[in-house]
Amino acid sequence: MSQTVSLTGNRGLLWLARRETLRVWKLWTQTVLAPIVASSLFIVVFGFSLSGRIRHIDGFPYREFIVPGLITMAMVQAAYSNNSSSVFQARSDRYINDVLSAPMRSWQMNLGYNIGGVLRALAIGAGLAAVAVPITGVPVREPLVLVPAVAFGLMLFSALGTIVGIYAETFDHHTFVNNIVILPLVFVGGVFYSVSRLPSPWHELSHVNPIFYLVSAVRYGFLGTADASVALSVGVTAALAIPAYLWAQWLFTSGRKLKA
């Protein structure tokens, strides 16, 4: 009996993950291609137009220096936006009731929704890297650091999107968090500059920004250097990602804001 329930739950997880993935790929020009084009324009406009004035940062050409931060920015926004809009729409259309009544465990529901956001973000990151590496020549020197940094970063922002999607009362609520919280923190997190060059107190304040550590970890994965210790950067990102994922898990387990 337990094996039957487990098998049914796994099928439900695959069904939910497939639905979230198809939701991304049916609109791939908007969900994947558009962010790649937008971030590529950042590389061209900032990387090449400013490279005459800002030749090197930390020993790297400016166009190489900004690539890891731009990839991070594109991926975290995609992971967050995908899950927040998907969960909010499911609640708004009452589709979430079908998911809750399906023979799935709460961890399978949480994982199924997060898979969509993670895959969308990875597709954007891979596509942007495929464009940026030949154009700028940016290296990938520490893949063993890059992989966990990206994994924890996407876990964090996918879970955050799920949480906001559950709590949001209007569509504006989930866009507010992205436009007023996430995007400004990304821009002041060292995407376009080295935090080490900032004067006091801005240098110290930058270290309060959690996205600064994610950008530093990803930059270390590409360039082998960063503004913060790689262990600290990955550790801070993991310390934020795990509780966020567990919070999203608790919401599915308790049914808070999900069960009418």
For residue range 215-240, what is the model confidence (pLDDT) as tens digits?
Answer: 999 999 999 988 889 999 999 999 99
Structural domain includes residue 259:
no
* Rounded Cα gap, residues 46 and 44, in angstroms: 6
* Rounded Cα gap, residues 128 and 222, in angstroms: 13
Question: Given this model, what pLDDT does residue 193 score?
Answer: 83
In 89-235, the DSSP E strands lie at none
pLDDT tier for residue 52 given thresholds of 50, 70 and 90 = low
Nearest Cα residue to 220 out of 185, 194, 181, 183: 194
pLDDT tier for residue 7 given thresholds of 50, 70 and 90 = low
**What token pair was written down for 127?**
């596509």
Structural domain includes residue 228:
yes
Most confident of 112-116, 207-211, 244-248: 244-248
* Rounded Cα gap, residues 181 and 186, in angstroms: 9
| SS3 call for 56 | strand
User: Does position 159 have pLDDT exceeding 50, yes or no?
Assistant: yes
User: Does position 63 have pLDDT exceeding 90, yes or no?
Assistant: no
How many separate domains does the chain show?
A: 1
For residue 44, what are the domain limits? 2-254
Nearest Cα residue to 78 out of 14, 136, 127, 16: 127
Stated pTM of the model:
0.90
Structural domain includes residue 189:
yes
Instruction: Name the percent of the chain lying above pLDDT 70.
Output: 92
Structural domain includes residue 260:
no
Structural domain includes residue 116:
yes
- Segment (H or E) for 97: helix 96-101
